[in-house]
Chain A
Amino acid sequence: MATASRRIGGPGERVDAGLKVTGQARYAADVALPDLAHAAYLGSAIASGRVLAIDTTRAEQVGGVLLILTHHNRGPLGDLPNGDGTALAPDPRPPLADARVHYHGQFVAMVVAESPEQAAHAAALIGVTYEPAPCLVDIDDAEAIRLEDNPRRGDCAAALRAAPVALDVLYSTPVQHPCPLEPHATVAHWVGHDLVVHDSTQWVLGDRALLARAFGLADDRVRICAPFVGGSFGSKVCTAAHTLLAAVAARRLGRPVKSVLRREQVLATIGPRAATRQRIQLGAERDGRLVALRHHTRSHCAVNSGFPDRDPFHEPTSGVTRMLYACPNYEAVHDVVPLHLMKPGWMRAPGEATGLWALEGAMDELACRLGVDPLELRLRNHTAHNAHTGKPYAGEHLRECYERGAERFGWARRDPRPRSMREGDAFVGWGLATATHPGNSDDASVRVRLDRDSRGAYASVATAGVDLGTGLYTALAVVVADALELPLERVHVELGDSRLPPAPVTGGSNLTASLAPAARAACLQLRRRLLGFRRDPDELAAWGELLARAGLGPIEAVGAAEPRGVPGQYAYQSFGAQFVEVRVVPELGQVRVTRVVGVFDVGQVVNATATRNQLIGGILFGLGQALLERLVHDPARGVPVGADLAGYVIPAHADVPDIDVSWLDTPDPAFNALGCRGAGEIGITGVAAAIASAVHHATGIRVRDLPITPERLLAELAGERED
């Protein structure tokens, strides 16, 4: 037997890196098929109202045009599943359903032509007459609908009234967009009566189920391929409208159809992170221990969300405020505000990224109010069980994260007074916040096949799970190489095909936690089968030799994710502590993050490179949320303003500070056989609050509205001068 290789948690290389840097990794838009036709779309020029007439005469005359679809001729589509756990349509109405318009940019026509240029040109020549209706795109201007089922415990109102210290603050977040670098792309083609779709999706089985229902097909007549996806951040969970239309058009034409969204179409037709307004009321003892927490959120939804028959999508802000700190009395209330915008959806750490912004901001304010160190305040309110369900965490190491982070950052040297640190003309400030994300996992399966060639044994690993660039290829290769004691290059991983063993959506940081244990389980089955062929229990024989001796061809096993422990006994949660240093040049309104220390407990780390990458990427996402990102819609017409990557500003390299991420080596064995939870989202959580806390420490200015732009800081300073 080869020497044991303890690769789990090691640095490892990215096994797909070579393919990516040499351009051999094929993304959906790279798929070239003979006879490929190309789609383009015309988006609505109004945000609310009806299409009265569509004139396609000029468009039809453009050379190369093959098909123009509008709501008049799109043809029937089956009832699309939504919210039943099998698949998701972003919009309750399928695209081109009727004349109604609910947001700016909603597709009103699709053109398919021999070339993308012809299709785009023809789409621009389509004349549409609208009957516009007033549109509402500002969450502060529209009426809210109260949702039911709000979590509560104790008597929050009474406890707030009786609390010796009370805080009542309003935090806000703007519409944001996941804006992955790879635009949403689909190539659809029909092979006989079967549909094959190359798609940029986080969930091949969800895509499959939705398309099967739309076209009245059995699931196994639809195949979805997504071997490589160039980022997603939640925006590729739902089956996009253009994917459905590409399949419709491909069937109509009997030709494969490629559809790649333009950047402004991504920003207009793919669900954003909902805007929120969050009122946090805290009641505390004089020592800072919380006695009451009330969290009232308003978040935007779409006017056509299908409410009340369907979930309107409410940004789940209270998921984190209810569980994080020990507090006997809690109440959350959630209102949704229907707007003429694309239905919002999940964006990296939905609920946590927004909810922690409000809660951790309020905690920082409470610490200042009481003159307690913000870290000490967190410790005083620490709980070793989920504060809402009361279930103990199977593995919980938040105190250790705080401790280690404080040490690496040098927190003890912090002078609590605002404006106490200067560097030249810049004020320097330090802030911190808690990071947290639930440990999620789902039913998942992985097939591992062991075979041999002239160089000995090799393994082939396969699952329908999708690697969004997050490192799943590497994680599975590492787990299998480790379990079978094979060199990494003798493990081949195949992903993102609906014909492979079923896997859940890549979302909620669940995939490694679901698939890595499944892959390991498959390997253990194979080992058990082969070890029986040893001459005696101490024989060291290579797998290839055992395979030969057994007279077997390749052998394979399918492993399933098997959560251990008594279901429902424990709570599973990842934690972390984010420490941030900022430099603020007040008169320029400029905030630059100069240092971040993040220490996380994500259970067992499967691959250090991918984990670092995810945590740092998450922190940068938080930096964008804190300082830059907002998608503005014109108040009168509902059109997105600056709908490109020059207008929707995300951090550039020069904005990236010195980021020190580390993790505790703390497997959570009750969670799964490997003890690993995901690391894809926790990095972003808490970052914005930590930055705002540091800005306050630097300048004395408390910003409660994201992003923290020059205009906000300048306005505060102008106010100061007048005082």
Chain B
Amino acid sequence: MRPFAYVDERDVAGAAAAVHAAPGAMFLAGGTTLVDLMRQGVLAPDLLVDVHRLPLGDIELDDRRARIGACVRNAQLAEHPELRARWPVVGEALLSGMSPQLRNMSTVAGNILQRTRCSYYRDGHSPCNKRVPGSGCAAIGGHDRDHAILGAGPRCIAVFPSDLATALAILDAIVYTRRGDGGARRLPFDGFHLAPGDTPERETILDHGELVTHLELPTLAIARCSHYFKVGDRSSYSFALASAAVALDLERGIVRDARIALGGVATRPWRCPDAEQALRGKPAELSSFRAAADVALAGAVAGRHNGFKIDLARHVLVRALTELAARPR
């Protein structure tokens, strides 16, 4: 691990300014992504600005929205009773992954900014465009079993692994930030994460020194009827091989509106607007769900070992919709 300086910031503007001023600086929250990657030599900041004690640790709720501080622990978010009633998909997504210890330690902002689990990225020395731009991609043509079938590009096929982000993708979430120069931004979650394209090293539209301060979930009637379903290699403590965040607005057995996003299979949180459209006006039954799943996976591209994810994601999505439609309401 490279030596680094550390400051414990208590002031939001100060934290943003501190990172902004130093090109090699990074924010440190729970550290469950960052410290691992520093040990691996993948990330090598020379200054860590610790933000986990910033006054961004509260969840505020009113009729219009939930305002979630960036430093709220993932455990706190997962267990919040009112949130669970109004946006069940959020808690379900969080509880489907990590371990209790990790949820206690890690933060909401850290979660949506976590890095890929691509082994070639994490080993610190394989060719990897995300880690060392222009060095190539060892996963393409290599062991790509866990890699993306949606949104992949010729330079990077890494999955963005966050369960929480998959849930947020269907909730019209907003990310609020404070920039190093003192400005602030309000960023729709849709579009917050970038496709790998030519710059897989850039994962979000945040600028250097731009601090996430809050997440906002606007009140949505459809969100009350939402669900997260995930399949991993083992029964718990496992990243998704495929997952689906879904919400349904049903009236007398007909889908009035639907929200669908896929996780574990795409290079960024993957909302499926065409599949949602395919469901609208259809009876809430297996054949409609299957048809929507086919639409959702229509653009999927298989590599050498990850072709099974196309089928798996399709079945996972059908399962998520079926379970949700069967829920008493």
In the complex, whether B239 has a CB less than 8 A from a CB of chain A is yes
Report A-chain residues with C-beta under 8 Å of the C-beta of B3: 117, 121
Stretch at the interface among A329-337, A570-578, A644-652, A674-682: A644-652
Nearest-neighbor residue (CB-CB) of B239 within chain A? A646
What distance in Å separates the Cβ of A141 from its nearest Cβ neighbour in chain B? 14
In the complex, whether B241 has a CB less than 8 A from a CB of chain A is yes
Q: Bound complex: CA of A124 vs CA of B3, how far in Å?
A: 12
CB contacts under 8 Å to A, within B229-246, are: 231, 233-239, 241
In the complex, whether A156 has a CB less than 8 A from a CB of chain B is no
Interface residues on B, range: 35 or more
Given A647-B119, A653-B236, A710-B308: A120 and B1 within 8 A (CB)?
A: yes
Stretch at the interface among B17-25, B148-156, B311-319: B311-319
In the complex, whether B41 has a CB less than 8 A from a CB of chain A is yes
In the complex, whether A709 has a CB less than 8 A from a CB of chain B is yes
Q: Bound complex: CA of A687 vs CA of B200, how far in Å?
A: 43
Given A635-B143, A653-B236: A589 and B119 within 8 A (CB)?
A: no
In the complex, whether A110 has a CB less than 8 A from a CB of chain B is no
What distance in Å separates the Cβ of A277 from its nearest Cβ neighbour in chain B? 19
Report A-chain residues with C-beta under 8 Å of the C-beta of B305: 711
Task: Flag if B319 contacts A641 (CB, 8 Å).
Answer: no
Residue among B2, B122, B315, B316 with most chain A CB within 10 A: B315
In the complex, whether B198 has a CB less than 8 A from a CB of chain A is no
Task: Flag if A652 contacts B237 (CB, 8 Å).
Answer: yes
Main SS at interface, chain B: loop
In the complex, whether B10 has a CB less than 8 A from a CB of chain A is no
In the complex, whether B277 has a CB less than 8 A from a CB of chain A is no
Nearest-neighbor residue (CB-CB) of A43 within chain B? B125
Task: Flag if A654 contacts B123 (CB, 8 Å).
Answer: no
Nearest-neighbor residue (CB-CB) of A117 within chain B? B1
* In-complex Cβ contact of A649 among B119, B233, B319 (8 A): B233
Instruction: Number of A interface residues at 8 Å Cβ cutoff, please give it.
Output: 38
CB contacts under 8 Å to B, within A704-721, are: 709-711, 714-715, 717-718
Task: Flag if A124 contacts B142 (CB, 8 Å).
Answer: no
What distance in Å separates the Cβ of B313 from its nearest Cβ neighbour in chain A? 11
**Interface bits B111-137 vs A (CB < 8 Å: 1, else 0):** 000000101101101100000000000
Q: Bound complex: CA of A264 vs CA of B124, how far in Å?
A: 11
Task: Flag if B316 contacts A588 (CB, 8 Å).
Answer: yes
A-B interface contact total, Cβ < 8 Å:
92
Nearest-neighbor residue (CB-CB) of A632 within chain B? B143
* In-complex Cβ contact of A637 among B41, B126, B241, B312 (8 A): B126
Report A-chain residues with C-beta under 8 Å of the C-beta of B2: 121, 124
Task: Flag if B236 contacts A654 (CB, 8 Å).
Answer: yes
Given A45-B125, A588-B231, A649-B238: A710 and B312 within 8 A (CB)?
A: yes
In the complex, whether A82 has a CB less than 8 A from a CB of chain B is no
Task: Flag if A592 contacts B316 (CB, 8 Å).
Answer: no
Report A-chain residues with C-beta under 8 Å of the C-beta of B126: 634, 637, 639
Task: Flag if A587 contacts B142 (CB, 8 Å).
Answer: no
Given A589-B308, A634-B126, A637-B138: A652 and B143 within 8 A (CB)?
A: no
What distance in Å separates the Cβ of B94 from its nearest Cβ neighbour in chain A? 16
What distance in Å separates the Cβ of B103 from its nearest Cβ neighbour in chain A? 15
What distance in Å separates the Cβ of A427 from its nearest Cβ neighbour in chain B? 15
Task: Flag if A655 contacts B234 (CB, 8 Å).
Answer: yes
What is A's interface to B at a CB cutoff of 8 Å?
Answer: 45, 117, 120-121, 124, 264, 587-590, 592, 627-628, 632, 634-637, 639, 641-644, 646-647, 649, 651-655, 709-711, 714-715, 717-718
9 A-B pairs with C-beta separation under 8 A: A117-B1, A587-B319, A627-B234, A639-B120, A642-B119, A649-B233, A652-B234, A710-B312, A717-B311
Q: Which 4 A-B pairs have the closest CB atoms?
A: A654-B235, A654-B236, A711-B308, A587-B315
